[in-house]
Amino acid sequence: MDWTDLIDVAFDALGSDSNKSSALHSVQQAARPDELPVAATAGRHPDHFRKGALVLTTHRLVFLKDGKPPLPVPLEGVTDVTVTRSRLNGEILKVVALTGAHRFEEVDKAEFFAEQLRGTARTARDRHRAPAAPAADLLDQLERLAALHTAGALTDAEFALAKTRLLQG
């Protein structure tokens, strides 16, 4: 799959062709040289009325919406990915990362996309993991998690799960 195919998949899921070239340009422009496309689907961010494209690469998850700046989530910081179902909001994809919790509603093929996201995030963490992480780095990550929890970005359960996963390596 190349970048054009990835954006085509996302916009086909949206049922729209609007600003496809703009979305492609914004993702490619911010891409690292070794970053490759993985998967795409459509979903709605709670702050937006209409759906946007969720694009998964080897390094990040990006939410693209017409006229809005891309919302990137670095994969090496992803600690949990869950899918729930609601009568009102359809399938809900929740991504907990060191940058905060992200929720996407009405996600097309959410369970399949979540599996791809989990696997790609695990690979990204392994790629960025140093042979022996210094204790100071672990302490910094724990402090960031605690700050997110204190700020209300993570619930008690999300904080406990993220902390456990971080400590288990």
Question: What is the Cα–Cα distance from 20 to 39, expressed in whole angstroms?
Answer: 16
**H/E element holding 95?**
strand 90-97
Q: Are residues 79 and 144 in the same domain?
A: no
pLDDT at 133 over 70: no
Same domain, 147 and 105: no
Q: Are residues 125 and 144 in the same domain?
A: no
Residues 62 and 13 reside in one and the same domain: yes
User: What is the reported pLDDT for 118?
Assistant: 94
What does the pLDDT look like over 51-98, one tens digit per residue?
Answer: 888 889 898 898 877 767 777 889 988 999 999 999 988 999 999 998
Query: Does residue 116 share a domain with residue 97?
Result: yes
Domain span at residue 104?
3-129
Is the pLDDT at 128 greater than 90? The verdict is no
* One domain, residues 51 and 21: yes
Structure tokens given for 137: 């780095």
Report the alpha-carbon angle 19-25-29, nearest 5. Answer: 150
Residue whose token pair is 């970048």: 3
Same domain? For 162 and 109 the reply is no
Element (H, E) at 125: helix 110-128
Structure tokens at 46: 């709670």
Q: Which of 137, 119, 126, 51 is nearest to 81 (CA)?
A: 119
**Whether this model's pTM surpasses 0.75:** no
- Count of domains forming the chain: 2
124/169 same-domain check: no
Are 61 and 71 spatial neighbours (Cβ–Cβ below 8 Å)?
no
